[in-house]
Structure 1
């Protein structure tokens, strides 16, 4: 049993297990992750993004084709034309591991780093256990409450919050609470994102 009861708890534990940071793409579908969490240092994250290394990262290549856990040092058979792993070392990510789980249509992939030593087998097993728990916790919802659906529909239809609250005969703060609950259920940062995800999962 993982003991992970919330997404935030799981991400906090991964921060403890990977002291030099991590990048975790939860439930990749259509080349986009449901949730992307990156805690690597800002300089490396910006360098990685600026050079579009996701397109040639051996960790991602491995994760798309395999399930399980692997140390970065074991990825010698995977092409690394831009020396992504070598460059990561120059930014202090000296040792790393990767985890991949889930079906091809909804894959979760993560890379995790240390500066002092290789991850032990026990640490790798725990990281993988937490990642699998997060993969399950972020399974798309099969439903929203009627109140949540109505709130999202009104905003999607162009209503301002005060307008929508008046139409439902509730306070504006109660209306905002419904939107917040819908965002949390859909793992969306904004209401616009929540509306898009609800439509994607045929919940509106």
Structure 2
């Protein structure tokens, strides 16, 4: 799993290719991504949300139906709600969608420009960066019972001594559990570990 700094570096690289904004949904499970990032304008984001476009978006439908990269102008998916036209009206005139990973943990990312189509070289570079982000953010599939108990105590606001007493262990043993869960989730702090455990639906 990648550090937040590595993720941010990848997102900055993607942002340079998408002056009109992007959406990156990493490891979509149970209809929601474990991590998502987007830089589209607030006006378009609100319009998209208010119209319930996520369930009708041809770029998302394409992303679930296949893997690879496709310019929006070449999408083989119908767009009966004219979402791509609405996007163009908001400055997202030219777009690209990239999809990778297994269907039960799919990453789908879209990128937009207002000035021109994405070049083949840009598509290759964007696809490689999305692939690296997907691979490096693969979450662990589980935590141990002891790790979950320690994180739940932290989530409930218990101090180390109180949490240790609640669990019937020494304070040093409790701290050791927190260290192990931080290592497992590649988190720098316990707060970051707790946040990742929630994002990955491990608690």
Query: Normalised by the shorter chain, which TM-score bucket?
Result: 0.7 to 0.9
**Can you give the 5+ residue segments of structure 2 that lack an aligned partner in the other structure?**
none
Two-structure CA RMSD over aligned residues (Å): 3.3
Deviations 1:47-97 (A, max 9, x none): 11111101111100111101100100001x312121111001111111110
> How far off its partner does 1:153 sit?
3.6
> How far does residue 112 in structure 1 lie from its aligned partner after superposition?
0.2
Give me the whole-angstrom Cα distance separating, in 1, the residues matched to 2:41 and 2:201.
29
Could you tell me how far apart the structure 2 residues matched to 1:69 and 1:105 are?
Answer: 19
Cα distance 1:147–1:60, how it changes in 2: closer, same or farther (>3 A)? same
What SS does the aligned partner of 1:105 have?
Answer: helix
- 2:79 matched to which residue of 1? 80
Structure 1 unaligned segments of length 5 or more: list them: 200-204
TM-score by length of 1: 0.78
Task: Report the counterpart of residue 197 of structure 2 in structure 1.
Answer: 194
Aligned to 1:37: 37
Number of aligned residues: 189
Report the TM-score, using the length of structure 2 for normalisation. 0.78
**What per-residue deviation string (whole Å, max 9, x for no partner) do you get for residues 78-123 of structure 1?**
1212111100111111111010011111111111001111000000
8 Å contact kept, 2:20–2:113 = yes
Counterparts of 1:14 and 1:127, CA distance in 2:
6
1:6 aligns with 2:6: yes
Structure 1 segment 1-204 matched on structure 2, within 5 A? 6-75=6-75, 77-142=76-141, 149=148, 151-155=150-154, 158-161=156-159, 163-164=162-163, 169=171, 181=182, 185=186, 191=194, 194-195=197-198, 197-199=201-203
* 8 Å Cα contact 2:93-2:112 kept in structure 1: yes
Kept in 2, the 8 Å contact 1:29–1:105? The answer is yes
Contact 2:140–2:185 (Cα < 8 Å) also in 1: no
Shift of 1:46: 1.0
Distance in 1, matches of 2:86 and 2:35, equals 25
